[in-house]
Amino acid sequence: METKKWLVEDIHLSYPQIKEAAEWIKANEVVAFPTETVYGLGANAYSSEAVGKIFKAKGRPSDNPLIIHISTMEQLEMLVTDIPETAKKLINKFWPGPLTIVLNKGVGIADNVTAGLSTVAIRMPDHPIALAIISEANLPIAAPSANVSGKPSPTTAQHVETDLNGKIAGIVDGGATGVGLESTVVDCTTEVPMILRPGGVTREQLEEVIGLVTVDPALEEDGQAPKSPGLKYKHYAPNAKLVLVEGSTAFLQKQVFLAKDSGKKVGVLTTNENKVNYEADVILPCGTAGNLQSVAQHLYEVLRKFDEYELDVIYSETFPEVGVGKAVMNRLTKAAGGDILSEFRV
Ligand code: TXA
Ligand code: MG
């Protein structure tokens, strides 16, 4: 199929494009659009036929449920059976924004959206284009990240095109996204809410609003099944093997030399501050170490950029697990399939 592109530089001037994209979603086609986190691939959440097209285009396993995107609180009430106090407080504070809330599922939602679960994940994105498309379609829109399953999430329309051109009806190009990593997913169906996926909103920020929040033990320990089905899959991976290196720049450089000695083409993922310390085939800085937000914002772009070189292995620095650093390390660890070398642990 031919994938239509709508360029939206000014939301007011480009309103006809937004309306057309919304019409296509109403007609049960799938359309990619920007949110404040990453690009989403949207479809009518009430139509299992439309939602089925998302799974097919992404090659997504059918047991991995989707997040429903809404633009009004009335839509939320129609999608769930009840809204606990904790969820209300989080919604007041963080919506629209990069927080997805898991609640008990109401009636009407297509079964494939929730992969048969009795709960549903919902968020109100903080992006004018996303909100305008949802309002114009006048529908809740199911939307996973608009990448082929397993690849890094797209932070530009070009990334979406690389992965899905010819496989989806259209792409709304609204420029680069801001946060760069996906939303935090928090389950509010339990007495004490639990973070299922770290993201743009940190645990500290959640606890300021509702007190104690737990974290899915599978995020911290090996061998446990994560409560968020999507997290059991390898994800965000570049084509070359990715290895995280904990320790000094000298220790990382040593790994590079060892790999080069055995004839490998080697990349290094570092920061603007540290890039001068390395010698390798390709050195890509990902934001500044002093600003973890900037690392989050550029992470997927840099992981995708490595695919432009035919590398055998990429060594990546690690980042402090504070604030959004938790989400950065969660994604990097997944991308590396858990492969970590440490100067401190042998
Ligand atoms: O920022 C984001 O959240 C982006 C943008 C497009 O909104 N979307 C996104 O969707 O990251 P996706 O499909 O790539 O990730 C959704 C995650 C998956 O890990 C999935 O398993 C989990 O949310 N999820 C969805 N419904 C769930 C549910 N009912 N219970 C637990 N986890 C759920
Ligand atoms: Mg995804």
CATH number at residue 167: 3.90.870.10
Same domain, 211 and 259: no
Same domain, 205 and 267: no
Average pLDDT (223-250) is 89
Question: 3-state DSSP call for residue 192?
Answer: coil
Same domain, 201 and 246: no
Are 112 and 52 a contacting pair, CB within 8 Å?
Answer: yes
The mean pLDDT value of the chain amounts to 96
Residue-wise pLDDT for 189-216, tens only, equals 999 999 999 998 999 999 999 999 999 9
What sections of the chain are H helices per DSSP?
Answer: 15-26, 48-58, 73-79, 85-94, 128-137, 157-164, 203-210, 249-261, 292-306, 325-335
Residue-wise pLDDT for 19-55, tens only, equals 999 999 999 999 999 999 999 999 999 999 999 999 9
* Nearest atom, ligand 1, residue 64 CA: 21
What's the structural domain count of the chain? 2
Distance 144 CA to ligand 1 centre (A): 6
Residues with CB under 6 A from ligand 1: 35, 37-38, 40, 64-67, 98, 100, 102, 114, 117, 119-121, 125, 143-145, 182-183, 185, 196-197, 228-231
Distance 200 CA to ligand 1 centre (A): 13
Same domain, 157 and 85: yes
Residue-wise pLDDT for 74-118, tens only, equals 999 999 999 999 999 999 999 999 999 999 999 999 999 999 999
Same domain, 273 and 178: no
Domain annotation covers residue 225? no
- The C-alpha atoms of residue 170 and residue 69 are separated, in whole angstroms, by 18
- Across the beta sheet with 99-104, what order do the strands follow? 4-7, 170-173, 31-34, 39-44, 141-142, 67-69, 119-123, 99-104, 184-187, 194-197, 214-215
Judged against a pLDDT cut of 90, whether residue 330 lies above it is answered with: yes
Percentage of the chain beyond pLDDT 90 is 93
User: Where on the phi/psi map is residue 108: left (φ > 0), alpha (ψ -120 to 50), or beta?
Assistant: left
Domain annotation covers residue 308? yes
Same domain, 256 and 333: yes
Considering only CA atoms, which of 105, 107, 136 is closest in space to residue 11?
136
Domain annotation covers residue 323? yes
Judged against a pLDDT cut of 90, whether residue 346 lies above it is answered with: no
Nearest CA, atom 3, ligand 1: 183
Question: 3-state DSSP call for residue 93?
Answer: helix
Residue-wise pLDDT for 263-295, tens only, equals 999 999 999 999 999 999 999 999 999 999 999
Same domain, 215 and 282: no
Domain annotation covers residue 18? yes
User: pLDDT category, 237, cuts 50, 70, 90?
Assistant: confident
- The residue ranges of DSSP E strands in 88-233, in sequence order, are 99-104, 119-123, 141-142, 170-173, 184-187, 194-197, 214-215
Same domain, 199 and 266: no
Average pLDDT (234-262) is 95
Question: 3-state DSSP call for residue 172?
Answer: strand
Can you give the pLDDT at residue 60?
Answer: 95
Domain annotation covers residue 232? no
Judged against a pLDDT cut of 80, whether residue 233 lies above it is answered with: no
Mutate to test the pocket of ligand 1, among 41, 66, 151 (most ligand atoms within 8 A of CB): 66
Position of tokens 């399939």?
337
User: Which range marks the domain in which residue 251 is found?
Assistant: 241-342
Distance 311 CA to ligand 1 centre (A): 30
DSSP calls for 227-254 = SSGGGGS--S--SSEEEEEES-HHHHHH
Nearest CA, atom 18, ligand 1: 230
Comparison of pLDDT for 233 and 245, the residue scoring more = 245
